[in-house]
Structure 1
């Protein structure tokens, strides 16, 4: 099925509405068309391949390059600039790329022979492309490589139809207002960032780009500018909250909410946000579904702290098996993994997609995500989900980061072990006592290790498989 080209449609419907700005420069939808067409023409002159890599910060140069790839009728392959050269080369090879567009600020991050800097793209002299008036909803718009916390990343195919279904479901939950301005500080090479760009084109909504996350900078923008929504992950929210509490920020009257995804968060932080006037709406999604498929509404959020909400309008969800694995059906679901059909097939239970997460509903039908099935620890026949334990122990004074993993045990089968990051020595006996006040005793780790940093991948997710070696002999 084909529908009107999103950019051209917005340029027709809302030509003078600001589509994107970075705090210094702004472009309307009408102004974007020739800029994007020029870049599309340069891309078409550079490669005949169907996919083009993009490596960029959240800036206008990267935004225009990405839209140029789409306007050239090619697929964006998002490349995470934090990856090691070997990892980047592997993904570039897997995607069959012979053109990688690189933000000038990241020129030292990639030196491949098919690199073209964004400034070189802008300076190109090839004729501008004639933009295709429609988009095919089955065509793959973007490919993102999953984080790979337990193995090699998979290239997730994301169609225009996937992005559209996700945007529609989100709009039916959060609403879309004429003055909406979505602050994009989540990296656009992640779905939490790129989905904002796509929603801007679908909704006719402004996007405020922020190069990188700094809590003070973000809070000042929310105070001074008419931003209505920001997407954040728990780390960002906690830093924003600390700055709000320390500097007494008062957000603009236009501000509506923080859409929180990207992992679990402790109830104490959510309570503090509510007390500080920081409206948080939790959601649950993944790269494979082009962002959230479960979310709270703004009205429900204060009354269901800790829940990720209810399945969005186009989502079907069920809990399956002894451990209540979350399975879904949604038109936002990827059609597959690049070059890995067997792995995608293995994720299915008939027509249902197995998320690998475990959860439960409360009596009102709100979903709570308990943790990852592959991280679950079975100790003496009891199921322990590390995320639940981490969220409690993280509230202990002085704890910066904490990760809980299982260690084989002859008596219990496995026992939970906590690895802690703190600026000062931690009294593990006191930490264990704190845990026993808030958790069932079998969930409380009996062994604790303190380290300078937790091993993480380029997306900032803890690589728990690397912690297994650390705790094996603890």
Structure 2
């Protein structure tokens, strides 16, 4: 029995609110489960069968949540694709991953070689007598395909089963004390593994899922739990200050996606909100380790069922949440090395009894014979009060081979005085060879990334090369 069916027949949960949509309408588990059944029936009538590939090319919506679960109920593989991607890229990704059907909220989009799926929530609410169409449950079969962030420029589709997602959810729910009495905002996109993590936590405890209303930051303050990246957290704090808000429901915020400034988490604590600093990745179905945020920059200890070891400072992982593999040429290909571990290419160490992430091995460059890890520099610069975002890249240099250059976003606009003050501030915090020799205004970059959880360093570096001409 799928979890939504289980909650629909349970005396404890069937009449309990399962979901609140963008308009604030509520759906009990009994009603929501029937909606999933009806969507599955209509998908089946449109040709979806076991092992079909289904893509949604859309922002979050109730339709997408129903499509996601109904596809799994039919034994299909479901993949989300960022709607900000050009149609040509979306088509290429569908071809590479054996996708036959797609859903888009933009009905005018015509994508060759793919069958468009039609969804109408109103009709599903009316059709209450439709037969149940479901696939025999196999919790370890391929259910979802999630694209990596594409640090190499070529995203891979990582395949998870329902069990992978549920194993990951178990550890997170225990960490953040998420129960059936709580609510979680679908604050991150479902085409990203962190958005899917929210879905499986909600399902695993029969909690309440909220879809954001037009006022996103007001929506955050109406739920008990939320997942945010640091940029969203900074905007939430600004929102609370601007509107002089003193009362809200939010008690727990799970943070991730990039380095998390301790200054922000300290502000949350002062508001009575417990935040959690975490480390996760698509290959492990989202969060791997986390802790209650404190003054230290680590990401805590491993959650239930995860295992870790270090090989030349590289993090190797296995255990709960580990994906079935990559999708390649119609098959699932293992992502494990010969030793049976996932080699992450992330550098890390144990410090003060917790995991500390040092950066990506493939971002490292050499300057005058010294290894430079951009994330180390970025974490120091982010502590400067006027900095909102920073990315460090190598720039060619005749004498040293490479020197670091920083792309920064300042809270009060890019200006030379702030740059001069920053350079002076860094003098006793970074060795001279690690200090950026040039600063570029991040707002000058054409590449827009508003729909991404993580900014693609590959695309950002290409934009920087256009500005400077000699970026590696």
Task: Compute the TM-score of the two structures, normalised by the length of structure 2.
Answer: 0.87
Q: 1:287-329, CA deviations, whole angstroms, 9 ceiling, x for partnerless residues?
A: 1111101111x4xx33x542211011101112221xx111111
- How far, CA to CA, are the matches of 1:348 and 1:342 in structure 2? 18
- How far, CA to CA, are the matches of 1:343 and 1:46 in structure 2? 26
Number of the residue aligned with 2:120: 119
- How far, CA to CA, are the matches of 1:381 and 1:270 in structure 2? 37
Q: Of the candidates 427, 437, 443, which is equivalent to residue 436 of structure 1?
A: 427
Q: 1:148-204, CA deviations, whole angstroms, 9 ceiling, x for partnerless residues?
A: 132211011011110111011212322333311111111122111122112222211
Number of the residue aligned with 2:104: 102
**1:430-469 counterparts in 2 under 5 A?**
430-450=421-441, 452-454=443-445, 455=447, 459=452, 461-464=455-458, 465-467=461-463, 469=465
Number of the residue aligned with 1:35: 35
RMSD (CA atoms) = 2.9
Shift of 1:209: 1.1
Shift of 1:21: 0.9
Number of the residue aligned with 2:344: 355
Is the CA contact (8 Å cut-off) linking 2:168 and 2:286 kept in structure 1?
A: yes
Aligned length: 455
Number of the residue aligned with 1:232: 228
User: Could you say if the C-alpha distance between residues 56 and 294 of structure 1 is closer, same or farther in structure 2, counting changes exceeding 3 Å?
Assistant: same
- How far, CA to CA, are the matches of 2:273 and 2:365 in structure 1? 34
- Partner SS, residue 97 of structure 1: coil
Q: 1:347-397, CA deviations, whole angstroms, 9 ceiling, x for partnerless residues?
A: 635111011111221132x11112111112333343332223223324546
User: Could you say if the C-alpha distance between residues 449 and 102 of structure 1 is closer, same or farther in structure 2, counting changes exceeding 3 Å?
Assistant: closer
- How far, CA to CA, are the matches of 1:343 and 1:370 in structure 2? 31
Number of the residue aligned with 1:390: 378
- Partner SS, residue 233 of structure 2: helix
- Partner SS, residue 415 of structure 1: strand
**1:64-463 counterparts in 2 under 5 A?**
64-103=66-105, 106-108=106-108, 111-112=111-112, 114-119=115-120, 122=123, 128-132=130-134, 135-210=137-212, 217-223=215-221, 225=222, 227-252=223-248, 254-296=249-291, 298=292, 301-302=293-294, 304-321=295-312, 324-339=313-328, 348=337, 350-364=339-353, 366-396=354-384, 398-422=386-410, 423-427=413-417, 428-450=419-441, 452-454=443-445, 455=447, 459=452, 461-463=455-457
Is the CA contact (8 Å cut-off) linking 1:222 and 1:251 kept in structure 2?
A: no
Q: 1:402-441, CA deviations, whole angstroms, 9 ceiling, x for partnerless residues?
A: 2101234344343211123453333443332222243333
Is the CA contact (8 Å cut-off) linking 1:77 and 1:95 kept in structure 2?
A: no
- How far, CA to CA, are the matches of 1:144 and 1:353 in structure 2? 17
- How far, CA to CA, are the matches of 1:193 and 1:260 in structure 2? 12
1:15 maps onto 2:7 in alignment: no
User: Could you say if the C-alpha distance between residues 267 and 412 of structure 1 is closer, same or farther in structure 2, counting changes exceeding 3 Å?
Assistant: farther
- Partner SS, residue 144 of structure 1: strand
Is the CA contact (8 Å cut-off) linking 1:135 and 1:160 kept in structure 2?
A: no
Shift of 1:452: 3.1
Shift of 1:345: 5.5
Contiguous gaps of at least 5 residues in structure 1: none
Task: Compute the TM-score of the two structures, normalised by the length of structure 1.
Answer: 0.87
Shift of 1:70: 1.8
